[in-house]
Amino acid sequence: MSASPAQATPLPRLLVSVRDPAEAEAARLAGVDLVDAKDPERGALGALDTRTVREIVARVSGGAVTSAVAEPTPRDVAAMAASGVDWVKTGIGPAPRGDGAALAALAAAAPGRLIAVLFAEDGPAAALVPHLAEAGFAGAMIDTAGKRGARLPDLAAPADLAAFTAACRDNGLMSGLAGSLRVIDIPSLSAYAPDYLGFRGGLCRDFDRRNGIDPLRVAEALRALRPSRRDAA
């Protein structure tokens, strides 16, 4: 029997990171929910130039939600927000975690549109979520800083991921989980009810994030998510 809307566990949407307008269009045509602009050659938070991001937004043309990575300064966040993306993502490292003024200055540069990216390598993140909400962030996601094989489930304990997504819900923040994910991770991570699951390498040719997005792997990820959505409706 299908669960009622009140009982159904919220199901995540698919975020796919792209590096150029051609990949953005391929992702949109494949049906991804969120097209995320970043430079895979520069790690988890490699920012593209704003001109490229504007071209990506134009190529998506409203066919998906968009986001882009910005360097963690108010100036860079504001510049990326002006590119026309729906959301701006920026990294929050260990040092500024307790600096409420610095967090507020970042959030003010993209009012209601800034997503904090936290790294699994820095430890549990749930305790930071209320501070992000107070500072004015719109959401938070956990990623992995290293992109050489270690995946999010290898670096973060299930209890910590569950606590993080629960804290985001309790504080009214959008949540996401990412970090060298594969399609096989979708069922276990969906149980934590994040708003988004983020992919790059796991959906690229040869599972190499430097290669192009493989539409067949994107379709596989969507099949892993969307049948459950129909069952829960």
Query: What CATH number did the domain enclosing 147 receive?
Result: 3.20.20.380
Q: What is the mean pLDDT of each run of 10 residues along the chain (233 residues)?
A: 45 94 93 95 89 97 96 97 97 72 96 97 94 97 83 95 98 96 94 96 82 89 74 39
Q: What integer pLDDT is reported at residue 228 of this predicted model?
A: 47
Is 206 part of a structural domain of the chain? yes
Clarify whether 38 is annotated catalytic. yes
Is 7 part of a structural domain of the chain? no
Catalytic hit among 38, 54, 59, 113:
38
Is 4 part of a structural domain of the chain? no
Q: Extract the runs of DSSP E, i.e. beta strands, from the chain.
A: 13-18, 34-37, 65-69, 87-91, 114-119, 139-143, 174-178, 196-199
Q: What integer pLDDT is reported at residue 7 of this predicted model?
A: 44
Q: What integer pLDDT is reported at residue 41 of this predicted model?
A: 85
Is 177 part of a structural domain of the chain? yes
Give residue 102's domain range: 13-228
Q: What integer pLDDT is reported at residue 80 of this predicted model?
A: 98
Q: What integer pLDDT is reported at residue 230 of this predicted model?
A: 42
Is 2 part of a structural domain of the chain? no
Instruction: Return d(Cα 230, Cα 130) in angstroms, integer.
Output: 33
Catalytic hit among 89, 113, 131, 200:
89
Is 1 part of a structural domain of the chain? no
**Cβ distance 141 to 116 under 8 Å?**
yes
Q: Phi and psi of 228, rounded to 5°? A: -65, -35
Is 50 part of a structural domain of the chain? yes
> Whole-angstrom distance between the N-terminal and C-terminal Cα of the chain?
11
**Cβ distance 40 to 3 under 8 Å?**
no
Say how many domains are in the chain. 1
Is 8 part of a structural domain of the chain? no
